[in-house]
Amino acid sequence: MDKHEGVGVSVDAMLEDLRTLVETESPSRDLAALERSAKAVASMIEHRLGGRAELVASPAGPHVRWSGGGEPRVLVLGHHDTVFPIGTLERRPFRVADGRATGPGVYDMLGGLVQAVHGLAALGDLTGVEFLVTADEEVGSHHSRALIEERARACGAVLVFEGAAEGGHLKVARKGCGTFEVTVHGRASHAGLEPEAGVNALVEAARQVLDIAALNRPEAGTTVTPTVAFAGTTDNVVPAKASITVDVRVASDTERARVEAAFAALTPHLDGARITVSGSVNRPPMPPEVAGELLAHARKLLPGVEGVAVGGGSDGNFTAALGVPTLDGLGAVGGGAHADHEYLMVDSMAERAHLAAGLVSAIRG
């Protein structure tokens, strides 16, 4: 037995399942890929936990739902979509070397799914346990949110297997987050013959970017970051249209309301320009107090582990905002989410699987 293994948990078996999931590429919005990925997740769950995993159809791809039967007591929550396009695997194949597993999605969050399944398998009796693995977390959970909230209310406690915080710590607070799209409508004209007849949407967009960036309030935990912009059609035409994509993170509902009102109030600087805005802070802030009792259980099971606040969002934002006890960051210990250097620490896998099992046992009493 590997020195990192424990009763009922095999690191080799976990790595085998992780390889299968990583090699079944699953970029968000790619419905064919997500269909294959959902089937791979369902197969793993059924093989390790028994029973039948249901594929729940949605416009974003299939979610995977499994129940151990009985009165629902705890929801194990994750997602199988990743941010990496098809073909990433060819460039960055799954590998295990020097104590690390690497490959697209190992940390965010396929490793967490594998650890959760293997931890639950070690329990044997899974009465009251539900597993929900969604297909659209990386793109806002617009088609899974209602199901997530429904099952969280029904179960009364949520364990989220997103990647761990730095040092293996757990996540008890997250910022609310959302994306805004600002579209500038101008008027085209010939850039050489009569530029004055046009309304330059690119110039207007440049002014709007500065106004938007000024909404930052880092002292209040708010970041407002223009991230993507497009304008124009060709080099001798005054641009008639421009668009700006903005990432927003807020630590409080007060700041959420301020930022949303500010976007709604954006006004053009150029005569004849028009602005339209879509989007919102769709993930509410995750307040730390809802994790209190679950974190106390975790600290008994894994002495030294702490609860920390992070800037990224997850589906735990939704469940925590309902007041349902929620503990996040229970997944892979590693780093590099959404990056080429993404990795998972192999020697933590058995420990985290046992943490999953221990938390479920504690919740069920």
Looking at the DSSP assignment, which residues form a beta bridge with residue 182?
244, 277
Q: What is the CA radius of gyration of the chain?
A: 23
Catalytic residue among 17, 81, 315, 328: 81
Instruction: Determine the pLDDT at residue 247.
Output: 96
Q: Tell me whether residue 90 is exposed, middle or buried, using C-beta atoms within 10 angstroms of its C-beta: 0 to 12, 13 to 18, 19 or more.
A: exposed
CATH 3.10.270.10 given to domain 176-283: no
CA neighbor of 45 nearest in space, from 126, 157, 159, 136 = 126
Residue 206 vs residues 195, 234, 288, 290: alpha-carbon distances, Å: 18, 18, 38, 41
Angstrom distance (rounded) from CA 132 to CA 335 = 23
Catalytic residue among 25, 108, 130, 137: 137
**DSSP 8-state code for residue 343:** E
Instruction: Determine the pLDDT at residue 54.
Output: 98
Angstrom distance (rounded) from CA 269 to CA 279 = 22
Phi and psi (nearest 5°) for 129?
-100, 135
**DSSP 8-state code for residue 293:** H
CA neighbor of 133 nearest in space, from 174, 161, 164, 102 = 161
Using an 8 Å Cβ cutoff, are 288 and 172 in contact?
Answer: yes
Angstrom distance (rounded) from CA 277 to CA 264 = 7
Using an 8 Å Cβ cutoff, are 317 and 286 in contact?
Answer: yes
Instruction: Determine the pLDDT at residue 7.
Output: 55
Using an 8 Å Cβ cutoff, are 181 and 230 in contact?
Answer: no
> Any idea where the domains of the chain sit in the sequence?
11-175+286-364, 176-283
**Active site includes 137?**
yes
Angstrom distance (rounded) from CA 328 to CA 77 = 9
- How many CA atoms lie less than 13 Å away from 131 in the CB half-sphere? 35
CA neighbor of 67 nearest in space, from 131, 138, 159 = 131
Using an 8 Å Cβ cutoff, are 326 and 319 in contact?
Answer: yes
**Active site includes 2?**
no
Query: Tokens standing for 244?
Result: 């700006």
Using an 8 Å Cβ cutoff, are 254 and 281 in contact?
Answer: no
Please state the three-class secondary structure of 4-59 as a single string: CCECCECHHHHHHHHHHHHCCCCECCCHHHHHHHHHHHHHHHHHHHCCCCEEECCC
Using an 8 Å Cβ cutoff, are 253 and 244 in contact?
Answer: no
CATH 3.40.50.80 given to domain 11-175+286-364: no
Strands of the chain, DSSP E: 54-56, 63-67, 74-79, 95-97, 100-102, 129-134, 158-160, 170-174, 176-185, 223-231, 241-250, 274-283, 307-310, 326-327, 334-335, 343-345
What pTM, to 2 d.p., does this model score? 0.90
Query: Tokens standing for 314?
Result: 């997850």
Query: Tokens standing for 198?
Result: 């046009």
- How many CA atoms lie less than 13 Å away from 70 in the CB half-sphere? 10
Using an 8 Å Cβ cutoff, are 76 and 132 in contact?
Answer: yes
pLDDT means over runs of 10, the chain (365 residues): 56 98 98 98 98 98 98 98 98 98 98 98 96 96 98 98 97 96 98 97 98 97 97 98 97 95 98 98 95 98 96 95 98 97 98 98 95
Query: Tokens standing for 197?
Result: 């007849």
Looking at the DSSP assignment, which residues form a beta bridge with residue 247?
179, 225
Say whether 186 sits in a helix, a strand or coil: coil
Query: Tokens standing for 92?
Result: 């960055």
Q: Which amino acid is at 220?
A: A
